Amino acid sequence: MMAKSDSIDKLNFKIGENESIYPMDPAYLTTPRKSGTQDFQPRPRHQGDSHQPACLDTAAGVIGQRKARKSYRRPSRVIYIKERYFTMLKKDLILRNPLRMMGHENDEILNNGEFGAVLARAGVGKTAFLVQLSLNALLRGKNVLHISLEDPVNKVSLWYQEVFNLIAEQYRVDQINQLWESLLPHRFIMTFRVEGFSVPKLKERLSDLMEQNIFSPQMMIVDGFPIDNSAYQSLTEFKTLIKNHQMPAWFTIRTHRHEDPGPDGIPMQLAQLSDLFKIAIQLLPVGKEIHVKAAKGAESFSEHLDLRLDPSTMLIKKKL
């Protein structure tokens, strides 16, 4: 029997054919050196080996075979939780949005193929109001095509960013950058020069987007559409276009301070076009506030509609 003072380092081990072990393998630590045996040589490491010694699989009787360890990760689970969080956050913003007062139980203000108009004097908040209508649709996961006949793409994009930041600040939204990035794929900005705009040109560009699977809109915003003697014919063609593509459209219409409304209260700019529009919303400066009133289609709104536009932020709010 080997004395306790003998060094383990002096031990040599019997290695059978096709076997490879590490010196600390408990199966061999008590095996004394015998004559005719070869000295122990550690198994050479192979690429991909871990720093752990080979294990002994006693059930199979195989020495040196290791079972690959798989990390317990569920990236799809993490993505699912993130998406669910943003879904809940979007729903919360929709529920807290004063625009819900303008819709029915399904919160849809316009149906497919219908026109809505936002009327106001210059600088009162028509574009800001339309951007909030658009953001409300984006939060619902709808694709919005924003057509501007007045501003370039970068200015329109800045409008969206500023209005969204103000909404996020007002409701103390976390993860604002990630939420903003999740909305961008659902928005497409298209610009025209006023003198170069026509419904056939829009139809051609829209077909290019959809046929190449670049963007397929579900709602259209039109800012700066010219209201002149040919407006009725152009809007009739426009209405056919959105009916074919099954989506609603919102327009801005500029009014003037010196013009009185017609007998039915509809502004003069809309009087000759009234039959084309389901809803017309007018922004009226009253003192230090901007009132949101229904010039046409009040029956389409929820009861007790009494909204304001905050002059400092241009955000829609309820009457205090």
pLDDT band for 98, please (50, 70, 90 cuts). Answer: low
CA-nearest of 238, 220, 231, 286 to 253 is 231
Residue 95 CA to residue 32 CA, distance in Å, equals 80
Q: Provide the whole-model pTM.
A: 0.70
Q: How far apart are the first and last CA of the chain?
A: 97
Higher-confidence residue: 241 or 139?
Answer: 241
Lowest mean pLDDT among 95-109, 174-188, 211-225: 95-109
User: Is 2 a member of any domain?
Assistant: no
pLDDT band for 102, please (50, 70, 90 cuts). Answer: low
Task: Please give the pLDDT value at position 86.
Answer: 64
User: Is 117 a member of any domain?
Assistant: yes
Encode pLDDT of 259-298 as tens digits: 777 767 778 888 889 899 999 998 988 888 898 888 888 6
Contacts of 310 (CB under 8 A, 6+ apart): 290, 316, 317
Neighbours of 174 (CB within 10 A): 9
Number of domains within the chain: 2
Count the helices and strands in the chain (H runs, E runs). Answer: 7, 11
Higher-confidence residue: 27 or 225?
Answer: 225
Domain with 60 in it: 10-42+50-69
Task: Please give the pLDDT value at position 7.
Answer: 43
User: Is 5 a member of any domain?
Assistant: no
Q: What whole-number percentage of the chain has pLDDT above 90?
A: 37
Lowest mean pLDDT among 32-36, 224-228, 230-234, 273-277: 32-36
Task: Please answer whether residues 260 and 185 qualify as being in contact, where contact means their C-beta atoms are separated by less than 8 angstroms.
Answer: no
Task: Please give the pLDDT value at position 41.
Answer: 52
Encode pLDDT of 148-175 as tens digits: 999 999 999 999 999 999 888 887 777 7
Residue 65: both structure tokens together: 């075979």
Location of structure tokens 């210059």: 122
When pLDDT is averaged across residues 11-36 and rounded to a whole number, the result is 44
**Residues 64, 82: one domain?**
no
| 286: helix, strand or coil | strand
CA dihedral angle for residue 81, residue 172, residue 102, residue 150, rounded to 10 degrees = -100
Task: Please give the pLDDT value at position 297.
Answer: 80
Q: What is the CATH number of the domain that holds 253?
A: 3.40.50.300
Location of structure tokens 């199979």: 60
**Residues 288, 228: one domain?**
yes
